[in-house]
Amino acid sequence: MNDIPSEGGKARALKLSPEERRAIASEGAKARWAKVKAERNQLPKAEHGDESRPLRIGEMEIPCYVLDDERRVLTATGMQSALNMARGGSMVAGVNRFELFASGNRIKPFVSNDLMERFRNPIIFLTPTGGQAYGYEAEVLVELCEAVLSARATGELQKQQLGIAQQCEMIIRGLARVGIVALVDEATGFQEVRARDALHKILEAYISPELLPWTQRFPNEFYKEMFRLHRWEYNPASVKRPGVVGKFTNQLVYEQLPPGILDELRAKNPKDDAGRRRARHHQYLTHEVGHPHLEGQITKVVTLMQASDNWPMFKRLFERVFPKKGSQPDLLPD
């Protein structure tokens, strides 16, 4: 389509005032942004995964995620780094690095049509922090390694490709070791015990076996900022607060602790018939791990509140910094 304006279009544009031209340009920009936003909303989203917790195979680390359609995905850059592939541009004339590698004369005979098709169509998805990333389903890495090792076994690889083959061998061996352990755990039922044991260790580190003396853990600034954002009248001398404050506190602070902590706190500190708890949740946290994590989370929340003009703005900032976990509900409305 030709975007060059016609002579008539130029003449009409010249008759417009600067304000009218700016308004038309602004509307055009809004339309383009709406289209980009709509396209982003159609992308699959990573519901599980964190850059700080990559897949580790030996000394290799590959960022990994589980998408909302349950596909297990490894990032393309992570795979490229693990295989020690030459960096360069990730896209060359519309062809990505893996497609270029797999289509080479020495590797191509060992690459299935299905694998090549996957390389041509990487998965574009949104990370939990809202960034856009490219990746492949996890089994693609295994299939590529098998193809490279088959090519090496027949003596087809060039000298500069042998380093990639060595990385492939390390990946396959590493996965084999992990895989056999996982299969034994599944067959014996130990995976459930392992999961319970992991949770037990977390709870042991965070939850104190005895009720600790009450000490103020939530600074007045936490409530002062929350009241400001809601335009509620704040009286530091009063302990009376709207009932929703407790729900906000759980969502903003306690739910951001490791999974299972809040449930354990509720079990140790249940409500009585009048709906009250005999202690504060933080009195059950350990000095060594629980309290430092709690205080760190409170500090982050207060900082985000101070940077916000109103509650909706704070919610946007909070959800950007702390993406929702699984079925975690949205922050309650104003």
Domain ranges in the chain are 48-188, 205-321
SS (H, E, C) 248-281: HHHHHCHHHCCCCHHHHHHHHCCECCCCCECCCH
Please count the other Cβ atoms lying within 10 Å of the Cβ belonging to residue 204: 12
* pLDDT 10s digits, 122-164: 999 999 888 889 999 999 999 999 999 999 999 999 998 999 9
Distances (CA, A) of 259 to 164, 247, 316: 39, 17, 23
Q: Per DSSP, what are the bridge partners of residue 123?
A: 135
Tokens, residue 242: 């709207």
Per-residue model confidence (pLDDT) at position 36: 47
Place of tokens 């975690």: 328
Phi, psi at 271, each rounded to 5°:
-80, 150
Residue 14 has pLDDT above 90, yes or no: no
Q: Which DSSP symbol is given to 287?
A: T
Please count the other Cβ atoms lying within 10 Å of the Cβ belonging to residue 218: 16
- The closest alpha carbon to 115, from 148, 92, 81, belongs to 148
* pLDDT 10s digits, 275-327: 889 899 999 999 999 999 999 999 999 999 999 999 999 999 999 898 876 54
Written as one letter, the residue type at 184 is V
- The closest alpha carbon to 260, from 326, 323, 182, 214, belongs to 326
Per-residue model confidence (pLDDT) at position 279: 92
* pLDDT 10s digits, 91-120: 444 458 899 999 999 999 999 999 999 999
Residue 5 has pLDDT above 70, yes or no: no
Place of tokens 């009585």: 272
Assign 80 a pLDDT band (cuts: 50, 70, 90). Answer: very high
CB 128 within 8 A of CB 49: yes
Per-residue model confidence (pLDDT) at position 178: 81
* pLDDT 10s digits, 192-245: 777 777 777 888 889 988 888 888 899 999 999 999 999 999 988 887 888 899
Assign 11 a pLDDT band (cuts: 50, 70, 90). Answer: low
Rg of the chain taking only CA atoms, in angstroms: 27
- What angle do helix axes 190-206 and 162-188 make, rounded to 10 degrees? 90
Q: How many CA atoms lie within 13 A of 13 on its CB side?
A: 11
User: Average of pLDDT values for 62-85?
Assistant: 91
* pLDDT 10s digits, 15-47: 667 666 666 666 655 555 555 455 667 899 998
